[in-house]
Amino acid sequence: MIVTTHAREDALDAVLRSLSRQSDRNFETIVADDGSGPATAALVAAWTPHFGHPLRHVWHEHKGFRAGEIRNRAVLASTGSYLIFLDGDCIARPDFVATHRALAERGWFVTGNRILMSEDLTRRILSEQREPESWGLGDWVRQWRRRGINRLPPLLSLPLGPLRKWRPHAWRDARSCNLAIWRPDFEAVDGFDCDYNGWGREDSDLLVRLLHSGVRRKDGTFATGVLHLWHPAAERSFLAANDEKLARAIGERRVKARQGLSVLASAAGT
- pLDDT per position as a tens digit, 111-161: 999 999 999 999 999 999 999 999 999 999 999 999 999 999 999 999 999
The DSSP output letter for 54 is -
Q: Cβ of 146: how many Cβ atoms within 10 Å?
A: 11
- Coil, helix or strand for 114? strand
Query: What is this structure's pTM?
Result: 0.96
Please choose, from the candidates 188, 235, 231, the residue with its C-alpha nearest in 3D space to the C-alpha of residue 212.
188
Q: How many domains does the chain have?
A: 1
Percent of the chain with pLDDT over 70: 100
Mean pLDDT of all residues in 52-81: 95
Task: Identify the helix (H) or strand (E) that includes residue 123.
Answer: helix 119-127
Dihedral angle computed from the Cα positions of residues 10, 11, 16 and 21, in that order, rounded to the nearest 10 degrees = 110
d(CA 123, CA 151): 19
Instruction: Give the model's pLDDT for residue 40.
Output: 98
DSSP 206-260: HHHHHHHTT-EEEE-TTTS-EEE---PPPP-TTHHHHHHHHHHHHHTT--S-SS-
Above 80 in pLDDT, residue 13? Answer: yes
Q: Which domain holds residue 53?
A: 2-267
Mean pLDDT of all residues in 83-97: 98
Q: What is the CATH number of the domain that holds 22?
A: 3.90.550.10
> What does DSSP say about strands 108-111 and 216-219: parallel, antiparallel, or unpaired?
parallel
Instruction: Give the model's pLDDT for residue 270.
Output: 62
Above 70 in pLDDT, residue 32? Answer: yes
What mean pLDDT is reported for the chain? 95
d(CA 29, CA 158): 27
How many Cα atoms sit within 13 Å of 1 on the Cβ side? Answer: 31
Q: Sort residue 122 into left (φ over 0), alpha (ψ -120 to 50) or beta.
A: alpha
